[in-house]
Structure 1
Amino acid sequence: MREELRSAPIETKRLNDTVAVLTGRLTECEGRFGVLNKRVITLETRLTTEKVDNASLIAEIDRMKSELNDRDQDLLLTELEVTCIQEQPNESLLHIIGTVATKLGVHLDEQDIVSVVRMGRVLDVSQTSALPGTRPIVVRLARRAVRDRLLEAARVRRGVTTEGMGLPDKPGHFF
């Protein structure tokens, strides 16, 4: 028993050393935990901020889409489409539109026209369709009032044909 009592201080010292090592490791783990906790809080804050930023970006994209749609609609208010006029090689669309306006009884100056193009892919004239080579002509006018005058004249003169317009094909109705 005396021997055991003599060895008790040695065992106690060894136990104290082990507790000291464990305390040091626990302190080190607490420090690491504190750093990780700060990082998690930072990431959570950034995530909620990015969600708010994403929501505002989505709202901005929707606003811009709406604005583009409104602009497209405004541009359509000055456009006019003329169909069923045969396409010819080296044609002058500006001259054709001027002739169409004259045929409808509307005076159309060159400065009233912003652009004139045939829309769609180029059709093969050798096709055996009913109307080969009749891509529509799209005219963008400078003012909506000119477009409205042309549309009103076209309504009044529904039966007008291409006769006398100087086109090489046989006369036919245009719309």
Structure 2
Amino acid sequence: MSLQRSPPTGSHLDLTKLRDFDSSQGITLRKKKSPECEITGFREELSNSLSSYRRDMSETLAAFKESMMASLKELLDQQSDKICKLCEDISDVKQHMSYLNKTTENMSCEINDIKLNITTLNKQIESTNMRVCTLEKELSEKNHVITSLSTQLGDREQQGRLNNLEIAGIPFKRSENLNTILNCIATKVGFIISPSDVDYIHRVRRYPRNDDNKKTILGRESSDIPNIIVRFTQRKRKSDMLAAARVRRGLTTADLGLDGASRPVFINDHLAPHNKILFGKARKLGKELHYKYIWSRDCKMFLRKSDTSKIIQISNEHDLNKI
């Protein structure tokens, strides 16, 4: 391997060493050196070049090292900041986890308490349901007893009116004589009545009915006119007069010679209030279903749709379903 010589950096030519110089040809003639001198010079130049190169490399490495250290320091600072922030975040997460753990424990305790309360409530509900069932059974039995007692009371109340007749439609006057009115009615219907037949006679306010909305000539409701109640000493005599009155239909106040506008007069059994309501419902339902006969006898209510159909007795609300 041959090495080309180059003049050392920063070296100066020594013109005094030139033997001759041909200016006409522009050639400098140098004195030929010996090989030992050339090797020595080459070594010096190489040593100088290596020293310069080492110095340059040392400076370059120092600069590179300084730059790398600065970059590394900056990177480490950034990483340190990130690590610090990450540590803070981890600390916050730990705190939150600790709070969540406590909250979970509290919730677990509360859930256990709720489960215990639910179990207790379920037992109470079961106990309450059993008590309710027992009370419902007792209430049903008592309602049955009350219904039975009410029926018995109603029957007794109605039984106390079996000898009574109720006369409606007679206008009220302060100076009236009810016995005279009764005798006049008996004469018109063809019934002979004696003083011994009547236990007592008096007026009583008529029990209002749902369909009783017609007005009198005085502008008052017909239910405002007190009816006349006649109690007979014998039930047969009452039944005989009621039968005679039903044969003589269309009786009015004009037929009785009473003052004022002519009004229809009605003679019926003296029904207890609950039976009046029941009879009113039976009459309304019977008319809607085109029943031909609707009547009462001895305070008992009956319906018959035609001459050949079966007679239906109405004793309570349930019997209305038979119509």
Could you tell me the TM-score, scaled by structure 2's length? 0.30
For the residue of structure 2 that corresponds to 1:117, the secondary structure is: strand
User: Matches of residues 68-107 of structure 1 in structure 2 within 5 Å?
Assistant: 71-107=156-192
1:58 corresponds in structure 2 to none
Going from structure 1 to structure 2, the CA distance change for 1:65 and 1:160 (only over 3 Å counts) comes to: closer
Residues in 2 aligned to 1:107 and 1:81: alpha-carbon distance in whole angstroms: 18
CA offset digits 1:86-114 (Å, max 9, x no partner): 11121111111111111111011111111
**Whose relative contact order is higher, 1 or 2, with alpha carbons under 8 Å and at least 6 apart?**
1
| Among 126, 138, 156, the residue aligned to 2:229 | 138
Change over 3 Å in CA distance of 1:67–1:129 after alignment to 2: closer
Determine if contact 1:78/1:143 at 8 Å carries over to the other structure: yes
Identity across the alignment (%):
32
Q: Are the structure 2 counterparts of residues 150 and 66 from structure 1 closer, same or farther at C-alpha, using a change threshold of 3 Å? A: same
* Contact 1:159-1:173 within 8 A present in 2 as well: yes
Which of residues 197, 201, 209 is equivalent to 1:116? 201
Count of aligned pairs between the two proteins: 111
Structure 1 residue runs of 4 or more that deviate by more than 4 Å after TM superposition: 64-71, 130-133
Give the C-alpha shift of residue 172 in structure 1: 2.2
Q: Distance in 1 between matches of 2:156 and 2:197?
A: 20
Q: What residue is the counterpart of 1:160 in the other structure?
A: 251
Unmatched segments (≥5 aa) in structure 2: 1-145, 207-215, 267-323
Measured in 2, the distance between the counterparts of 1:110 and 1:148 equals 17
- Contact kept, 8 Å, 2:163 with 2:235, in 1: the verdict is yes
Larger Rg: 2
- Show the 5 A alignment for 1:4-23: none
Q: Where in structure 1 are there 5+ consecutive unaligned residues?
A: 1-61
Amino acid at match of 1:95: T
> What's the RMSD between the two structures over aligned residues?
3.1
Letter aligned with residue 113 of structure 1: V
CA distance in 2: counterparts of 1:98 and 1:153, whole angstroms: 13
